[in-house]
Amino acid sequence: MIKTQERTKMANWAILVQNCISKKSNNQLTRLYLLTFTTFLCTFFYLLGLWQHSPTTVAISGHRHLPDANCHTLHLNSNSTASPDLDFAAHHFVPDPPSTAARDFHAPPCDASLSEYTPCEDVQRSLKFPRERLIYRERHCPTPEEVLRCRIPAPFGYRVPLRWPASRDAAWYANVPHKELTVEKKNQNWVRFEGDRFRFPGGGTMFPRGASAYIDDIGKLIDLKDGSIRTALDTGCGVASWGAYLLSRDILAMSFAPRDTHEAQVQFALERGVPALIGVIASIRLPYPSRSFDMAHCSRCLIPWGQDEGIYLTEVDRVLRPGGYWILSGPPINWESHWKGWERTRESLKDEQDGIEKVAKSLCWKLLVKKGDLAIWQKPTNHMHCKIARKVFKNRPFCEAQNPDKAWYTKMDTCLTPLPEVNDLKEVSGGELAKWPERLTSVPPRISRGSLKGITGEMFKEDTMLWKKRVAYYKSLDYQLAERGRYRNLLDMNAYLGGFAAALIDDPVWVMNIVPVEAQINTLGAIYERGLIGTYQNWCEAMSTYPRTYDFIHGDSVFSLYQDRCKMEEILLEMDRILRPQGSVILRDDVDVLVRVKSYADAMDWDSRIADHENGPHQREKILIAVKQYWTAPPPDQDQQQRKL
C-alpha cells in the first residue's frame, strides 16, 4: 500500500516538471534565476579573497592583530597581468642568534716593522731571561695580554718563491731583505747577493768545496745509499746547505738554529724549500721524541759538547735511534792542523776533544772513525753492555721514572735515557726499522710492539690507504695542491700517523708533521719510524718559525681538539702568520666548527669555501678550502708618511 502511494507521488512530480519545461515563459525564468545566482557567488568569493589578502588589521574576538613580519605577504602589481609565482617555502622560523664573536673579530694589518715577527722568539722579550746556557734564546712566548690581534704583513715587493729545485740555490732578496750573512760569512761561501736575489753556492764553514762534496766525504765513511739512513738532525744549521744537499740522496734532515746575530739563518733555509725550525739546545729538550734520527750532525755549530756534564750530547743521545751516528766537524776535530786558524791554543783544543770523547764513552758510544776534519761516533743498538758497565764504573746513571718521548718544555737531564729492553745482544732495542723506501709503509715498531695503545698494524694500513684517497680528493678541490711543483713547504697541524705526508711522498714537497701536545696518543715517534719528520706543538702558542714559512697548511680536527683550550681566532691568526701569500689551507672538521672557522677566515680576507666530505654530502664532517690573498706592507716612503700622520 505504501509503495503504491510513493509511486503515485513521483508520477505527479514528473508531470509537473514536464509542464513547466514545456512552457516558453517558464524556461526563460529559470535561466534568469541561474544567471543571478552565479553572479552572486562570483561576487561573494571575489570579495572574500580581497578580505583575506588585505594588509589592514583584522578584528578577531575583540582583539586587533598586526601582520607577522616573518610571514609572507603577497604584493600584486596592478599594472601586471602575470600571475604571481607560488611560494611553497617555509617562512615561519626562529632566526639564528648573531655570531657576536665573529662579528666583533677584527684583524687589521700589523705595522710593517713586524714583517718578521716570531712571537716566541722575540728578541726584545728574550733579553729578560738569563744568558747562562743560552736560556734567553729558548722559546719565551707572549702572555695572553701581549698577543697581537693583527695580520703580519709580507715585506713590500714580496714574490712567490722560486720553485724547487731552483729554490735550493736562490731566493728573492725582497722576501728576506738581510745582507748580514753575505758580509759575515763572505769567506765561507754561505750566501751571496746578486742583483735582486741571493745565491747559495752550498758552501759552509767546514766544507769549502761545497756541501755536496762534504756529504760525499761522509758517504765514504758510513753508508748513505742503502736506505738505512733516512732522518737526520742538523744542530746549528746555518742556512741549512747540508740538509738541502741531503735531499737528493733521499735523506730528510731537520735543521735548526737560534734566532741570533746571524740574522735570518732559518728564514733563508725555509725560503730555499729546506725543512728547518728556530731552535737551540740549551736547558729544555729538543721538541722530538726519543729514537727519532738515524744520524745527527754538527759542523762548527759552537755547542760546548763536553761541558755541563755532557748534558747537550746526552740530549743528542736521547733523540738518536739505536745504531745511529753522530758526526762532528770543526773544533776540536783535527785541531793539530787548524789550531792557528781557529785562534785557539793547542792545550784548550786538546782538552775540548778529550772532554767530548769522555762524554761519548759515558754514553756507551763507539768512536767509529776519525779522518781528516770528520769524526763519527755510533750509538749502540741496545744497552745490554752499557748496563753491565754502569755496575762497574757508575759514571752516568740511567734515567728513572721518565717518559723519554715527552719533549715540550721538559727540562734536560744528565742521566742516560734507557733503550727498550732486549733479550739478545744482537737485537735492536725498540725493533729494527725497514730500509727506505719500504720503511714508509711498513708498520712502525712502536705500533707492531704495542707501544701505542689502541693502534694496531691493521689500523695503520687502513689509515695509509685512507689518506691516499683523501689527498686525491684534496687535489680535485685545490688546483694549486694538484699542480706539481706549485708548493714546496707543507704543514700538517694534527698529523696522527703521518698519512697525509705519506700520500704526498711522490710529489716534490716535504711535510712538517705536527703532533699536538694535547693529542690523546703521542704518535710522533711512529712518524719518525716511517722516515718522516715532525715536531711537537701547542697551537695555543705560536710556532717556532718565521712568518711566511709554509705554502700549504692542512689540519684534521684541529679546532675540535682546541675548542675548550684557546680561542679559535688566535689559532687562525697564527696560521695566517706562517702561511705565504697565495698559499692554501685545507681543514676538515665538523660542519658546525667549520662554519665558525669560515666566518673568521672571511674576516682575515681569506678566500674560503666549504665542500662536502669525500664520501658525500651526508657526512657531518666537511672540508674547508681557503687561499690567503696576496698583500704586502706599503712602500717604505708611504709607510713613513702614515706613521707621521
Judge whether residue 529 has pLDDT over 50. Answer: yes
Q: Which residue has the cell 756529504?
A: 215
Q: How far apart are CA 565 and CA 571, in angstroms?
A: 11
Evaluated on CA atoms 265, 267, 273, 278, the torsion sign reads positive
DSSP E strand boundaries for 373-528: 374-378, 489-492, 510-516
Q: Report which secondary-structure segment, H or E, holds 39.
A: helix 24-52
pLDDT higher than 70, residue 188: yes
Compute the distance between CA of residue 105 and CA of residue 606 in angstroms, rounded to an integer. Answer: 14
Three cell numbers written together for 7: 509511486
pLDDT band at 184 (very low <50, low <70, confident <90, very high): confident
- What does residue 319 show for φ and ψ, rounded to 5 degrees? -90, -5
- pLDDT of 393 > 70? The answer is no
- What pLDDT shows up at residue 208? 87
The average pLDDT across 598-614 equals 97
Query: What SS3 state is found at 450?
Result: coil
Confirm if 229 and 221 have CB atoms less than 8 A apart: no
Find the DSSP H helices in 238-345.
241-246, 265-271, 311-319, 335-338
Q: Which three cell numbers stand for residue 571?
A: 689559532
> Which H or E element spans position 578?
helix 568-578
- Measured CA to CA, the distance from residue 566 to residue 543 in angstroms comes to 15
* Predicted confidence band of residue 448 (pLDDT cuts 50, 70, 90): very high
Q: Strand pairing partners for 623?
A: 588, 611
The confidence score (pLDDT) of residue 102 equals: 58
Residue 104's pLDDT band (cuts 50, 70, 90): confident
Q: What is the pLDDT of residue 18?
A: 53
Rounded to whole angstroms, the Cα distance separating 202 from 218 reads 16
pTM: 0.84
256 touches 237 (CB < 8 A): yes
Give 555's Cβ-side CA count (13 Å radius).
24
Rounded Cα distance between 2 and 4, Å, is 5
Cell of 296: 745527527
In tens, the pLDDT along 587-596 reads 999 999 999 9
- pLDDT above 70: percentage of residues in the chain: 84
What pLDDT score was predicted for residue 490? 98
The pLDDT of residue 288 is: 98
Q: Retrieve residue 295's grid coordinates.
A: 744520524
Contacts of 622 (CB under 8 A, 6+ apart): 588, 589, 590, 591, 594, 610, 611, 612, 613
Handedness of CA 202, 206, 208, 213 (dihedral sign): negative
pLDDT of residue 77: 42
Closest CA to 237 of 205, 209, 214: 205
Given a cut of 50, whether residue 474 has pLDDT beyond it is yes
Res 69: pLDDT: 38
Cβ–Cβ < 8 Å for 580, 586: no
Phi then psi for residue 468, to 5 deg, are -60, -45
Banded pLDDT at 180 (limits 50, 70, 90): confident
Task: Give the tens place of pLDDT for each residue, 272-323.
Answer: 999 999 999 999 999 999 999 999 999 999 899 999 999 999 999 999 999 9
pLDDT, tens digit, 9 for 90 and up, residues 14-54: 554 455 444 444 556 566 667 777 777 777 767 766 665 55
From edge to edge, which strands make up the β-sheet containing 320-329?
A: 276-278, 252-257, 231-235, 293-299, 320-329, 374-378, 366-371
Those residues with Cβ within 8 angstroms of residue 335's Cβ, 6 or more apart along the chain or in another chain: 342, 344, 346, 349, 350, 352, 353
Which range is least confidently modeled, 204-218, 250-264, 367-381? 250-264
Strands (E), 431-526: 489-492, 510-516
Mean pLDDT of the chain: 88
Question: Which stretch of 75-79, 243-247, 332-336, 505-509 has the lowest confidence by average pLDDT?
Answer: 75-79
Q: Is the pLDDT of residue 444 over 70?
A: yes
Contacts of 278 (CB under 8 A, 6+ apart): 118, 121, 256, 257, 258, 259, 266, 544, 545, 546
pLDDT score recorded for residue 88:
56
Q: Is the pLDDT of residue 269 over 50?
A: yes
* Residue with more model confidence, 207 or 597: 597
